[in-house]
Amino acid sequence: MATLELRNVTKRFGEIIALNDVSFTVEDGEFFVLIGPNGSGKTTLLRVIAGLVEPDSGDVIIDGVKVNDLRPSQRGVRMVFQDYALYPHMKVYDERRFANLNFPLKVRKFLKEDIVKVMSNVARRVGVEKELYPRKPDQLSAGQKQKVAVGRALAIEPKIFVLDEPLSNLDPLGRLRVRDEIRRIHREIKAATLYVTHNLPEAMALGDRLAVVNRGAIQQIGPPREVYEKPANEFVSVFIHSFDLPVRPV
């Protein structure tokens, strides 16, 4: 159980301002969606939260404690990367060796019997079937890789769960299925969750609240309906209506 707060986070890459004075709080147990076009700074923000990128200024605060100086593994933040970032030379799961699903437990030197216990729970939760265990990532479909990546992130119970565009490599049906699964998993683990997407229907379906970001700056924060019905500025309005289906005369 935890809250995540960002306070005035700014990050530049040379001339580019990837994050421009970003502040918001994700409440305990909340499903918070960050939505914005490509290049708006979403991945950079997740990397700052996870401790993989150092901000130029501003603070990351977890449960009221500033974590800027903590290493990624000490923050209690578990991340699912956009490209899954599975270890290509490792199997999905192997009781005795380092493998993709149990990697975080092996690193922390969990005993074998504990790994078996935790993993059977994790594999059930994300729906990784036993027949996938001996496979390497290049023998998995996008949907299966996705499940392994989510399972790995959940192997250590997260305080803060962050996901970077987890549906973007799936076909439309796969998206619907995994979307429902992510919602169910969130209900089970109840961790503060920050979910990144550029897709409005996904954001509307999943988010307790949305934050719309453009060029590294937060444009609006609110419940999905409110953002949809009362866009705070022209950018939000145009962005949101870019998802309307075109109606053409036949």
Using DSSP bridges, classify how beta strands 31-35 and 57-62 pair: parallel, antiparallel or unpaired.
Answer: unpaired
Shortest Å, Cβ 116 to ligand ADP: 37
Applying CB under 5 A, which residues contact Mg ion?
42-43
Is residue 18 at the binding interface for ligand ADP, with CB under 6 A as the rule?
A: yes
Distance, CA of 209 to chain centre: 15
Shortest Å, Cβ 39 to ligand ADP: 4
Query: 71-94: string of b/e by CB count within 10 Å (b at 16+)?
Result: eeeebbbbbbbbebebeeebbbbb
Among Mg ion, ligand ADP, none, the one that 147 touches (CB under a kind-dependent 5 to 8 A) is none
Is residue 44 at the binding interface for ligand ADP, with CB under 6 A as the rule?
A: yes
Is residue 40 at the binding interface for ligand ADP, with CB under 6 A as the rule?
A: yes
Query: 183-222: string of b/e by CB count within 10 Å (b at 16+)?
Result: eebbeeeebbbbbbbbbbebbbebbebbbbbbbbbbbbbb
Is residue 104 at the binding interface for ligand ADP, with CB under 6 A as the rule?
A: no
Q: Segment contacting ligand ADP (CB under 6 A): 33-41, 71-79, 123-131, 178-186?
A: 33-41
Shortest Å, Cβ 182 to ligand ADP: 18
The CB density around residue 132, as the number of other CB atoms within 10 Å, is: 19
Is residue 58 at the binding interface for ligand ADP, with CB under 6 A as the rule?
A: no
Distance, CA of 111 to chain centre: 28
Structure-block tokens of residue 201? 């229907």
H or E stretch covering 80: strand 77-80
Is residue 42 at the binding interface for ligand ADP, with CB under 6 A as the rule?
A: yes
Structure-block tokens of residue 232? 């705070």
- How many Å apart are CA 242 and CA 90, to the nearest integer? 41
Is residue 214 at the binding interface for ligand ADP, with CB under 6 A as the rule?
A: no
Considering only residues 5, 30, 32, 43, which one is a binding residue for ligand ADP as defined by CB under 6 A?
Answer: 43
Among ligand ADP, Mg ion, none, the one that 146 touches (CB under a kind-dependent 5 to 8 A) is none
Nearer to ligand ADP, 44 or 220 (CB): 44
Q: Which residues bind ligand ADP (CB under 6 A)?
A: 13, 16, 18, 36, 38-44
